[in-house]
């Protein structure tokens, strides 16, 4: 039987996010990550050898800087072919692709996912998103739907994808968005009961309902570093999933990491890359898009979190020494968090520091078991 690492016994799971594009930071510093294949493989192999559970590739068809096709926000490798390739140079981490509903027909997605699941020996997972970047979806001739309607569409889309993964008999499907005649897809994914894990990062009330009803991993943007408020935010998802849908979900967050030998050096570096050298035009365009199209945070928070956006797409910043970072992660875990997707300005340098210093601390605190790369399956 296949055991996807997302369901291993580590109390706090870890992943990397966004190495098929620029990662999360919106900065002009020269060391900022660039999505060459060499960089992507190097980073993925680092994460894989350290026993990280997740490598998540995002979906972006067009950048959010109008009239700037070469801006870093739009230079993003296709997440499906990316995760297929990454699965061939790793052997432990789960590889994730991301899809919107309007960009791929469920028949195409079901088969692509099954193929990557087979190629990766059952290490694939799917991130499903409603979408917010209007110009990218307009390229498909599919105007961005009203916010909550995007999730209705996604719900029907996912229902068909899951039927195609599970059902051997052909089926007809008549919905509001799709009609499928004698639908089938072969071969099936390796992962069956449970099937390919689903991730969803909806932050609005409708997005949260969708995630709690359909996803295995829900994402929360933590708003403070205070145990009680983190716990409240996390419990909201877990309790809602259980009471409304009788489901147990994992709750993850995403966080840029700024780790240095002293807290002061980390704060100085954060100011350097995310304030002095912030890509302000990019932060403005991104914030405007989120404000218009999502309900992830209030207009006041969108202004207040500007440094967080420049540092890494709004995630709560893990800042300071290795010890500071381990303390914050331990607090998140105490608050009930199951996992964190991490980003760095310079992934190669960052993951090296993190796995060297923070990871052993997390192991000593029993948040993770020491990972023995040599004894894992397939090594
Ligand atoms: C970890 C994470 C990954 C995301 N990946 C994508 C992505 O690949 N493509 C995309 O268009 N949106 C992505 N989003 C945006 C969300 O899907 C969603 O639109 C946003 O969190 C706002 O929530 P809402 O749609 O419920 O208002 C991501 C968000 C998070 C937190």
Pairing mode of beta strands 171-174, 339-343: unpaired
* Cβ of 203 below 6 Å from ligand 1: yes
373 confidence band (pLDDT: 50, 70, 90)? low
Q: Is there a domain that residue 379 lies in?
A: no
Cα 333 to averaged position of ligand 1 atoms, centre (Å): 23
In angstroms, what CA-CA distances link 98 with 19, 128, 185, 376?
13, 6, 20, 27
Burial class (CB in 10 A: 0-12, 13-18, 19+), 296: middle
Residue 231 lies in a domain: yes
pLDDT of residue 374: 62
Residue 327 makes CB contacts below 8 A (sequence gap 6+) with: none
Asked if residue 281 belongs to a domain, the reply is: yes
Atom of ligand 1 nearest to the CA of 221: 31
Q: In this structure, what token pair is assigned to residue 322? A: 């290795």
Position 373 in a domain:
no
- Name the residue of 58, 213, 217, 236 to mutate for ligand 1: max ligand atoms within 8 A of Cβ: 58
CB 214 within 8 A of CB 200: yes
Is the pLDDT reported for residue 377 higher than 60? no
Give the pLDDT mean for 314-333.
95
pLDDT tens digit sequence for 328-338:
999 999 999 99
Eight-state DSSP code of residue 358: I
Q: Please state whether beta strands 94-100 and 217-219 pair in parallel, antiparallel, or not at all (unpaired).
A: unpaired
Residue 379 has pLDDT above 70, yes or no: no
Contact 167, 186 (CB under 8 A): no
CB-count burial class (<10 Å; 0-12, 13-18, 19+) for 377: exposed
Q: Are 139 and 103 in contact (CB under 8 A)?
A: no
Beta bridge pairs of residue 180: 173
Q: What percent of the chain has pLDDT over 70?
A: 97
Distance, CA 219 to ligand 1 centroid (Å)? Answer: 9
Q: What atom of ligand 1 comes closest to residue 314's alpha carbon?
A: 31
CA of 218 to the centre of ligand 1 (A): 11
Q: Which residues, in sequence order, are bridge partners of residue 55? A: 16, 95
Counted domains in the chain:
1
Smallest CA separation from ligand 1 atom 3, residue: 201
Strand partners, 317: none
Nearest CA to ligand 1 atom 28: 201
105: containing domain: 5-367
374 domain residue, yes or no: no
Q: Is residue 375 in some structural domain?
A: no
Q: How far is the CA of 377 from the centre of ligand 1 (A)?
A: 32
- Going by C-alpha positions, the residue among 222, 215, 219 that lies closest to residue 248 is 215
Query: Which of 60-69, 87-96, 334-343, 349-358 has the least mean pLDDT?
Result: 60-69
In this predicted structure, what is the pLDDT of residue 293?
79
pLDDT tens by residue, 247-295: 999 999 999 999 999 999 999 999 999 999 999 999 999 888 887 878 7
64 CB near ligand 1 (under 6 Å) = no
DSSP 41-84: HHHHHHHHHTT-SEEE----SS-SSTT-TTSGGG----HHHHHH
Predicted confidence band of residue 171 (pLDDT cuts 50, 70, 90): very high
Task: Please compute the mean of the pLDDT values over residues 87-108 and round it to a whole number.
Answer: 96
Q: Are 76 and 60 in contact (CB under 8 A)?
A: yes
Q: Whose CA is nearest to atom 18 of ligand 1?
A: 202
DSSP letter (8 states) at residue 7:
G
Are 14 and 342 in contact by the 8 Å Cβ rule? The answer is yes
Instruction: Please report the atom of ligand 1 found closest to the CA of residue 290.
Output: 22
* Domain annotation covers residue 372: no
Q: Does ligand 1 come within 6 angstroms of the Cβ of 241?
A: no
Q: Tell me if 331 CB under 6 Å of ligand 1.
A: no
Q: How far is the CA of 81 from the centre of ligand 1 (A)?
A: 20
- Decide whether any atom of ligand 1 lies within 6 Å of the 135 Cβ: no
CA separation for the pair 239, 372 (Å, rounded) = 35
In Å, how far are 19, 50, 197, 351, 352 from 45, measured between CA atoms? 12, 8, 22, 11, 11
Q: Is 248 helix (H, G, I), strand (E, B) or coil?
A: coil
How high is the pLDDT of residue 376? 60
Supply the residue whose CA is at minimum distance from atom 4 of ligand 1. 201
Residue with tokens 């990871």: 359
302 lines ligand 1 (CB under 6 A): no
Of 96, 55, 115, 285, the closest CA to residue 200 belongs to: 96
Pairing verdict, β 217-219 and 198-200: parallel
Q: Is 160 among the domain residues?
A: yes
pTM (predicted TM-score): 0.96
Q: At what angle do helices 205-214 and 147-166 cross, to 10 degrees?
A: 10
Average pLDDT of the chain to the nearest whole number: 94
Q: Rg (Cα) of the chain, in Å, rounded?
A: 20
220 CA to middle of ligand 1, Å? 11
Domain at 296, CATH number: 3.20.20.30
């Amino acid at each position: 039987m296949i055991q996807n690492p997302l369901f291993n016994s580590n109390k706090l799971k870890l992943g990397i996010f966004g190495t098929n594009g620029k990662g999360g930071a919106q900065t002009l510093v020269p060391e900022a990550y660039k999505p060459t294949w060499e960089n992507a493989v190097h980073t993925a192999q680092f994460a894989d050898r350290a026993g990280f559970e997740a490598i998540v590739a995002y979906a972006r068809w067009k950048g959010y800087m109008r009239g700037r096709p070469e801006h870093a926000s739009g230079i993003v490798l296709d997440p499906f072919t990316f995760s297929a390739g990454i699965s061939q140079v790793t052997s432990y981490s789960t590889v994730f692709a991301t899809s919107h509903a309007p960009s791929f027909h469920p028949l195409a997605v079901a088969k692509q996912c099954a193929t990557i699941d087979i190629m990766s020996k059952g290490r694939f997972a799917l991130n499903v998103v409603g979408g917010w970047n209007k110009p990218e979806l307009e390229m498909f001739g599919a105007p961005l739907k009203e916010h909550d309607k995007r999730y209705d569409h996604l719900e029907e889309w996912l229902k068909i994808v899951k039927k195609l993964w599970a059902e051997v008999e052909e089926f007809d499907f008549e919905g509001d968005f799709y009609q499928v005649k004698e639908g089938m897809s072969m071969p099936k994914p390796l992962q069956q009961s449970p099937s390919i894990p689903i991730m969803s990062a909806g932050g609005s009330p409708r997005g949260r309902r969708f995630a709690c009803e359909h996803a295995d991993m829900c994402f929360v943007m933590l708003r403070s570093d205070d145990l009680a408020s983190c716990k409240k935010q996390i419990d909201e998802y877990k309790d809602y999933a259980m009471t409304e849908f009788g489901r147990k979900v994992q709750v993850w967050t995403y966080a840029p990491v700024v780790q240095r030998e002293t807290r002061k050096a980390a704060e100085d570096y954060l100011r350097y890359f995310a304030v002095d050298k912030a890509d302000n035009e990019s932060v403005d365009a991104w914030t405007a898009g989120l404000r218009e199209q999502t309900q992830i945070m209030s207009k006041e928070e969108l202004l207040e979190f500007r440094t967080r956006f420049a540092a890494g797409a709004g995630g709560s910043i893990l800042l300071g020494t290795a010890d500071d970072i381990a303390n914050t992660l331990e607090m998140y875990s105490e608050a009930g968090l199951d996992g964190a997707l991490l980003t760095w300005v310079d992934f190669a340098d960052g993951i090296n520091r993190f796995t060297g210093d923070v990871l052993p601390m997390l192991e000593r605190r029993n948040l993770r078991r020491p990972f023995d790369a040599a004894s894992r399956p397939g090594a």
